[in-house]
Chains A and B, each alone.
Chain A
Amino acid sequence: MLKRMFARPESFRVYYKEFFHQASEIGIGSLWIVIIISLFLGAVTTIQTAYQLVSPLVGRELIATIIRDSTFLELSPTVTCIVLAGVIGSKIASELGNMRVSEQIDALEIMGINTYTYLILPKIISSLFVIPCLIAISMFLSVFGGYLAGTLSGIVSNTQFKTGLLQDFVPFNLFFGLIKAFVFAFIITSVSAYFGYNVKGGSLEIGRSSTLSVVVSCVLILLADYGLAALLL
């Protein structure tokens, strides 16, 4: 499927428009859920970290450091991408599945259009741009959520949080999180496109392929998560 996807487009103008359309569908369509998840991820991590830090020998600044590193390294890229696998992956699988079942893909093929290139390539490329952006937003909001929860509840002071946030900062951690987002974006779109494109049957099979695409994407994300951590850290 991936090999057949890279062919010369019939019309660059149409593909260019389709790229932006998909970028908007994936980006704007998932922005709200990313915002909500990220704020709560940060907030919950702050409260739970504070709950576990009982020793008076450990400074409260450490809470912010833990939030920063866990968010950049794991929570934002992995948890958000697992949620995005449900949101974007199921949408792509069911959209392509419906197009397959209702013969819209056949209609495109009869017109002489390479359906792999037209239907799948813009989705994958736009997700490779948009999902890392969503993860970057998620990282920021997650830390912000932690800050809000920590300062409003009195767990950590404003100064302590800022000190902890800048303490022992390793820029590679941020970069590593974005590498993960890039890899996960490819997994989410290519797996869901594969399951959607190859649906056979009716509406029941569309539902099944949609569910299967989410399950397989999540498993592959976790495997890739482990693989990347083992390779790059």
Chain B
Amino acid sequence: MIEVKHLSKSFSGKVVLDDVSCEMKQGKMNLIIGTSGSGKSVFMKCMIGLIVPEKGQIIYEGKDLLEMDKEEKKELRTNVGMLFQGSALFDSMTVQKNIQFPLDMFTNHTLKEKRKIVDEVLSRVNVSDANNKFPSEISGGMQKRVALARAIVLKPKYLFCDEPNSGLDPKTGLVIDRLIKDLTTEYNITTVVNTHDMNTVLESGDNILYLHFGKKEWSGTKEEIIFSDNQLLNDFIFASDFLRDAKEKRMSEMK
């Protein structure tokens, strides 16, 4: 579990995060949602330690990230996997080398063992026959799967996903969402997903945090979102007439 307490951050006097607190639960899909410019990415980068906040605490298993020394941070980072919006696969390496890279850096496995682990992880994310291909030679959906395989190859305790289905068609996006959800349950990891994709929210939002201009506006589950009377949240989630009608229909059915 990750606890975030009173997190604040501003850039050149402009407040991007304002006193945000929340809990990211273990074995659950924790979603950060909000409009563009609402501070989602900054919030996630603060949680990982890529951006240092001005105020607040980010507590990993009782230890504040901001008070950890170099060694503690290094150890924590080997327990963190991240799936980037653009996959962030290393261009100069093949799929095999990309996934093997964390193993080369942090383990003493033999080459044979590493290859076995890479094959296992690739088959877990449903990628086959791509070991010797370069990232530029595979599709966007496959790149996301490979990036996910790289993120989980060291069996992390925490998985961060920055807009995992952006740039993908709805069907492939849903496949990636389900894959992340399955891995979260299977490995019992704390998964934090930054998204503004409504399919993800309504499909896999176990614990949702809605940010509005850097402030925590709402939090709850995907079931609670249907019944929420928060106007800002409803305007964001059910932005189109079609979705508003669908929500009303669903509410009347559930009542």
By a beta-carbon cutoff of 8 Å, the part of chain A in contact with chain B is 10-11, 13-14, 98-99, 102-104, 106-107, 109-113
Instruction: List 10 additional contacts besides A110-B77, A111-B77, A112-B74; criterion CB under 8 Å.
Output: A10-B106, A11-B104, A11-B105, A14-B104, A103-B86, A107-B90, A110-B50, A111-B78, A112-B76, A113-B105
| CB <8 Å contact, B105 and A103 | no
| CB <8 Å contact, B104 and A13 | yes
Give the Cβ gap from A40 to chain B, nearest Cβ, in Å. 32
Of B78, B82, B105, B160, chain A has the most CB atoms within 10 Å of the CB of B105
Cα distance, A13 to B77, chains bound together (Å): 21
- Is B102 part of the contact surface with A, judged by Cβ < 8 Å? yes
Instruction: Select from chain B the residue with minimum beta-carbon distance to A112.
Output: B77
- Is B166 part of the contact surface with A, judged by Cβ < 8 Å? no
Give the Cβ gap from B99 to chain A, nearest Cβ, in Å. 12
| CB <8 Å contact, B91 and A98 | yes
Cα distance, A102 to B91, chains bound together (Å): 10
Give the Cβ gap from A12 to chain B, nearest Cβ, in Å. 11
Instruction: Select from chain B the residue with minimum beta-carbon distance to A25.
Output: B92
Interface of B is mostly: mixed
Give the Cβ gap from A18 to chain B, nearest Cβ, in Å. 11
Give the Cβ gap from A169 to chain B, nearest Cβ, in Å. 45
Give the Cβ gap from B46 to chain A, nearest Cβ, in Å. 13
Q: Which residues of B contact A104 (CB under 8 A)?
A: 88-91
Given known contacts A10-B105, A11-B104, is B84 in contact with A107 (CB within 8 Å)?
yes
Instruction: Select from chain B the residue with minimum beta-carbon distance to A9.
Output: B105
- Is B192 part of the contact surface with A, judged by Cβ < 8 Å? no
| CB <8 Å contact, B88 and A107 | yes
Q: Mark B83-105, 1 if CB is under 8 A from A, else 0.
A: 01110111100000000011011
Give the Cβ gap from B58 to chain A, nearest Cβ, in Å. 14
| CB <8 Å contact, A110 and B91 | no
Q: Enumerate B138-163 residues with CB–CB distance to A below 8 Å.
A: 160
| CB <8 Å contact, A110 and B105 | no
Interface of A is mostly: helix
Cα distance, A109 to B45, chains bound together (Å): 12
Q: Which residues of B contact A113 (CB under 8 A)?
A: 105
Of A10, A11, A102, chain B has the most CB atoms within 10 Å of the CB of A102
Instruction: Select from chain B the residue with minimum beta-carbon distance to A17.
Output: B104
Cα distance, A106 to B84, chains bound together (Å): 9
Q: Which residues of A contact B233 (CB under 8 A)?
A: none
Q: Which residues of B contact A99 (CB under 8 A)?
A: 90-91
Partner of B78, one of A13, A98, A103, A112: A112
Give the Cβ gap from A126 to chain B, nearest Cβ, in Å. 15
| CB <8 Å contact, B102 and A111 | yes
Would you list the 8 A-B pairs with minimal beta carbon distance, nearest first?
A112-B77, A103-B88, A107-B88, A103-B84, A110-B82, A112-B74, A10-B105, A11-B105
Give the Cβ gap from A177 to chain B, nearest Cβ, in Å. 33
Cα distance, A55 to B75, chains bound together (Å): 75
| CB <8 Å contact, A111 and B105 | yes
Instruction: Select from chain B the residue with minimum beta-carbon distance to A11.
Output: B105
Give the Cβ gap from B55 to chain A, nearest Cβ, in Å. 23
Q: Which residues of A contact B32 (CB under 8 A)?
A: none
- Is B80 part of the contact surface with A, judged by Cβ < 8 Å? yes
Give the Cβ gap from A51 to chain B, nearest Cβ, in Å. 48
A-B pairs with beta carbons under 8 Å apart, 25 shown: A11-B104, A11-B105, A11-B106, A14-B104, A14-B105, A102-B88, A102-B91, A103-B84, A104-B88, A104-B89, A106-B82, A106-B84, A107-B84, A107-B88, A107-B90, A109-B77, A110-B48, A110-B50, A110-B80, A110-B82, A111-B101, A111-B102, A111-B106, A112-B78, A113-B105
